[in-house]
Structure 1
């Protein structure tokens, strides 16, 4: 019992200390001009395409998400991704990226996301890396995309995988240059930015997942997190931008500083707004992130909801632009209430 009391006291001190260390409040407002890009995901392609058509004249590029692997480590592109890439070309979209993730699907249809074992096979040696590069190039061309986006995640803490990944990016960059394909590389915020990234690609750092299913309630990003991550990005060579996340997360029965917790799941803005309306509530605006949050009790359970609306996104864009970032990517289109309200300046 004494051990748990000490643990609770320590967690309380750390929580209060973190709260005191937060930066100044965020607000939307005028900022240096930025260029917008966005993702459309295969599992929400209908709503994503609808929002794309609302926003297309403001987008410098779109990422068609996602190409992944089958049980034999062969790269596959869903029909929904192909259809959206074709539609985007007809709409006159100049930059269309095929996004490749380290996900794979087994024979039963079960999806394995951000899989390190898959990466160990793909990055095993130069022959495997070169084969992976050839597959990506061919898939992008076949899908009618004029760019590639590498979105391998959850590997950088493994030094061997990190070195193999860096080697792959050099090979991929050279191949894209030969084939006249643009290349974007997506990085997690925890990635060591000084690891030796190659010059040439555009790098996009994710400014989200500050809070999510891995943590307790809170926003996907706040001012302190945005500024801290952008400062780390100084080590990245060449062109660099950031990605901001729409939607949010719902936590069930989270309490006692994490010693008590139920399920947590991601939600889009449309879902979040419907939850608030169903409980006749009014969400509060968090000053340090400009995100919305709302709590309620139902059937013996407590719920806490945090999510972004267009004003949240605008505040995050301003924070990034004020730090010198001019390229902003939105994860993702689909399930947003007022996507046309996002401001470029």
Structure 2
């Protein structure tokens, strides 16, 4: 059987299960009870869903994103506020709202760990120089540890992506080597003070993720978060943000290199709106915005069996637009691939973006 045929077969079964999860309809309605029959005993309360999900809190998401997390606290073990960016070895600049103690305390009150995310503004060359200079690297570790010691923080999530944006194989190797050393030193220091060490990485496939040494990182971190999105991105051609075959590819590499209980796959709750034939950057849409746009344009909802993602087209001012995004039905298909690799850890980019039905799919998906 071809890969495409296998994916279609696997997806068909998952889609049928998803229909039950999102609509509650498994088949024809049940018959009414016969007269005089004894009512069925009350069902036992459903157990709380397992806390197997983490999520990012965008600093621009406002109160809605915070309330979204609280509403689904029973499923979240960690929230990573997207609050900081490293601009040098000793400088970490805060985004608006960084360190908001109302948010930190609110999450703690619901049993959620707070592990803020730090991104970097330095390019591959600058990061290679920093990471491979022992003095500068130690200074950077010191700076990150001080951040982790801020009130209420339970660790740090390093989301260093810009350093991976190079086609120079030698430079990429320098970044990879230096990042291994940084991660080892940082995680050791964080563990000494009882803090979590989380690293977010690009998916490792034939075409991406080669700036990250999964085996080394997986040996030192508490969790390795894999960004399961942007297979097609804003500056490229239209297409799905993720696909079943792509998940299978990067999970094969990840599970061969990293203990499976340390892996999280971050699921997308957004999409891109491309203008067909244009070289302009695609417009970002949350899943909520994408679905609202589809309804407004009266566009037909389509669920692509090859990728397991929804999409639609519409015409505006004479220009054809192609929109690909992710919703609960698509996530169900991707969870099935994750299960085949034994990966239970999931993440979400980002709170306030998602299809509300996603939470039910996540809860049901991990009970299988």
> Normalised by the size of structure 1, how large is the TM-score?
0.81
- 8 Å Cα contact 2:248-2:337 kept in structure 1: yes
Distance across 1 between alignment mates of 2:4 and 2:336: 23
> What is the aligned counterpart of 2:229 among 193, 208, 214?
208
Q: Is the 8 A contact 1:248 1:266 kept in 2?
A: yes
Residue in structure 2 matching 1:274, options 292, 302, 313: 292
Give the 3-state SS of the residue equivalent to 1:197 in structure 2: helix
Instruction: Say what the alpha-carbon RMSD is for the aligned residues.
Output: 2.8
* Residue in structure 2 matched with residue 51 of structure 1 by the alignment: 68
Q: In the alignment, is the contact (CA less than 8 A) between 1:45 and 1:80 conserved in 2?
A: no
Cα distance in 1 for residues equivalent to 2:152 and 2:232: 36
Distance in structure 1 (CA, Å) of the matches to 2:284 and 2:144: 29
In terms of mean alpha carbon deviation, does 296-305 or 153-162 score higher? 153-162
What secondary structure is seen at the aligned counterpart in 1 of 2:219? coil
Match for residue 263 of structure 2?
240
After superposition, give the CA deviation of every residue in 1:239-284 in whole Å (9 maximum; x if it has no partner).
2221111111110023xxxxx5443122101211121122122311
Alignment counterpart, residue 252 of structure 1, candidates 272, 275, 283: 275
3-state DSSP of counterpart to 1:40: strand
After TM superposition, list the pairs within 5 Å mapping 1:13-92 onto structure 2.
23-24=7-8, 25-26=10-11, 27-28=14-15, 29=17, 35-70=52-87, 74-83=91-100, 85-92=103-110
Q: Which runs of 5+ in 1 are unaligned?
A: 1-17, 104-113, 255-259
Looking at structure 1, the residues matched to 271 and 179 of structure 2 have their Cα atoms a distance apart, in angstroms, of: 30
What is residue 155 of structure 2 aligned with on the other side?
147
| Alpha-carbon shift at residue 33 of structure 1 (Å) | 7.3
Partner of 1:225: 246
SS in 1 for 2:331: helix
2:217 equivalent to 1:197:
yes
For the residue of structure 2 that corresponds to 1:155, the secondary structure is: helix
Gaps of 5+ in 2: 22-48
CA positional deviation for 1:225: 0.5
Question: 1:87, CA displacement in angstroms?
Answer: 4.0
**Secondary structure of 1:167's partner?**
helix
The one of 347, 352, 358 aligned to 1:329: 347
Query: Which structure has the higher relative contact order (CA within 8 Å, separation 6+)?
Result: 1
- Separation (CA, whole Å) in 2 of partners of 1:89 and 1:118: 36
Say whether 1:313 aligns with 2:341. no
Compared with structure 1, are the counterparts of its residues 299 and 133 closer, same or farther at alpha carbon in structure 2 (3 Å cutoff)? same
Quote the Cα distance in structure 2 between the aligned partners of 1:266 and 1:300: 20
Paired residues, number? 313
Distance in structure 1 (CA, Å) of the matches to 2:54 and 2:328:
15
The aligned residue for residue 35 of structure 2 is none
SS in 2 for 1:23: helix
Query: 2:3 and 2:341 mapped to 1: Cα distance?
Result: 22
- Determine whether 1:126 maps to 2:126: no
Q: Which of 192, 198, 209 is equivalent to 1:178?
A: 192
Q: Is the 8 A contact 2:183 2:220 kept in 1?
A: no
Report if the CA contact (8 A) 1:208-1:244 is conserved: yes
Task: Identify the residue that residue 100 of structure 1 maps to in structure 2.
Answer: 118
For structure 1, which segment, 188-197 or 297-306, has the greater mean C-alpha deviation from structure 2 after superposition? 188-197
Q: 1:143 to 1:218 in 2, by over 3 A?
A: farther
Can you list the C-alpha shifts for 1:294-331, whole angstroms capped at 9, x where unaligned?
11122121100011112222322222123210111111
